[in-house]
Amino acid sequence: MPHKHHTQDIETRIASLLKRSDLSVTESRRKILHLFLEQPGALAHGDIEKKAGEKFDRVTVYRTLQAFVEKGIIHTIPTADNSIRYALCKDDCAGGHHHDHHIHFVCDSCGNTYCLDDVVTPEIKLPKGYTAAHVEVVVEGVCKNCKG
Amino acid sequence: MPHKHHTQDIETRIASLLKRSDLSVTESRRKILHLFLEQPGALAHGDIEKKAGEKFDRVTVYRTLQAFVEKGIIHTIPTADNSIRYALCKDDCAGGHHHDHHIHFVCDSCGNTYCLDDVVTPEIKLPKGYTAAHVEVVVEGVCKNCKG
DNA sequence: ATGCAAAAAGCAACATAGTTGCAAAATATT
DNA sequence: AATATTTTGCAACTATGTTGCTTTTTGCAT
C-alpha cells in the first residue's frame, strides 16, 4: 500500500476543497459538492434540486452554484436547450486558474454530459478581423457507457 | 444588368421562403423573418419580443420560432447563459438539409452572435468508445466590427 | 467550551420565461 | 365567395430565476 490519500474520506476532501476556496463549509455546500463528486457527469440546476430532495430551498441551490462557479470549483457548459449544466473542474483546474481547454460531450442515449478532460479544444482559424478569446466545443453523440 | 433576382423585393423573398417550407404566410411569420433578414446576427426570443414591439403575443413568437426551427429556416446556437439564440440558416442550408458545419462567434464587445459560415467545424478526436454525431463550436472574442 | 461577528440559509414576494387549451381571426382552397 | 384549415391571441398555469430581509449557522477569539 504505497499511498493512501486517494482513500481519503470524501467528507474531508469536500471540506478542504471548500476551505481552499474561501468558502465556509455548510451543509448545503457539502451536500451539493457531494452530488458532483459521486457521479461523473454534469448537473443542471434542476437535477440538483431533485437529487437534494426537499433538503434545500431553491434559492440556496442557486446561490451555492453561483458561489462554486465564482470560486472555480465548477464550470458551466453551454447547451442549446436553455438549461445550463455545471461540472466539476478537475484537480488541476480547481486549483484556482481555470484551464477550460477541454471539450464537452453530450450523450444522446443517456442524456449525460461529460467533460472530456483529455481532449483539447482545437485551434480555430477565424476570418480576418476576428479575435478569439475562448473556444467552446460541445460534441453530441454516444458515450462509451451507452455504445453497443 | 445580367441578373436582378438579388434586387428581388424582400417581401417576395420572405413569402417564397415560407411557401417553400410549407408554412402559410402570416403577418407574424413575415415580420419575424424580416427581423432576421434585416440584420446579420442571431436573435434570442427576448430580442424578437422587443423588436416586434407590442405587435405579437409572446406565445406567437414561441410558436413561430419553433416552426422556423422545425422547417430549417433558422437554427439554434448554444449559449452558457440560458438564452437560446436563433440564426438564419444560409441559402444552401435553408434548402431543406441542414449543413450545420459552421461555427458560431459571440462578440464580447457588441454582444452579437454571428454564424461564420465559412469556418468549418474541425474534426475532434474522441477517446475510445465515444462516437460523435454532431460537433458544435462557439468562439467568443471580438468581432470585425468592434476591433480597433 | 462560550459568546460574538460575519456569513449563509430560508422565507416570502416578486419577476421573467415557457406551456397548454380553447375561442376568434386570418389564411388557403375550391 | 364560402368553407375547411391553420394560426393567432387570450387566459390560466407551471417553471425558472431574483431580491430583501429575518433567522440560523459558521468561524473565530476569547
CATH topology of domain B10-141: Arc Repressor Mutant, subunit A (1.10.10)
User: Lowest mean pLDDT: which of A47-61, A129-143, B123-137?
Assistant: A47-61
Chain A positions touching B139 (Cβ under 8 A) are 124, 126, 130, 132, 134-136
Q: What confidence score (pLDDT) does residue B54 get?
A: 82
Q: Which residue has 442571431 as its cell numbers?
A: B42
Minimum-distance CB partner of B79 among A78, A103, A119: A78
Minimum-distance CB partner of A124 among B78, B119, B130: B119
Q: What confidence score (pLDDT) does residue A95 get?
A: 46
Q: Is the separation of the CB atoms in B114 and B143 below 8 Å?
A: yes
Structurally, at CATH architecture level, domain A5-141 sits in Orthogonal Bundle (1.10)
Mean pLDDT score, B112-139: 95
Domain map of chain B by residue range? Answer: 10-141
pLDDT greater than 70 at residue A3: no
Mean pLDDT score, B4-28: 87
Identify the bridge partners of residue A142 per DSSP, sorted by sequence position.
B131
Nearest nt (C1') from B24 Cα: C27
Q: What confidence score (pLDDT) does residue A96 get?
A: 47
The candidate with the shortest Cα–Cα distance to B78, out of B47, B100, B52, is: B100
Beta strands in A2-144 (DSSP E): 43-44, 74-77, 85-88, 102-107, 113-120, 131-142
Give A24 CA → C1 C1' in Å.
21
Identify the bridge partners of residue B114 per DSSP, sorted by sequence position.
B105
pLDDT greater than 80 at residue B72: yes
Q: Is the separation of the CB atoms in A65 and A93 below 8 Å?
A: no
For residues B112-147, one letter each, b for 16 or more C-beta atoms within 10 angstroms of the residue's C-beta and e for the rest, the string is bbbbbbebebbebebeeebeeeebbbbbbbbbeebe
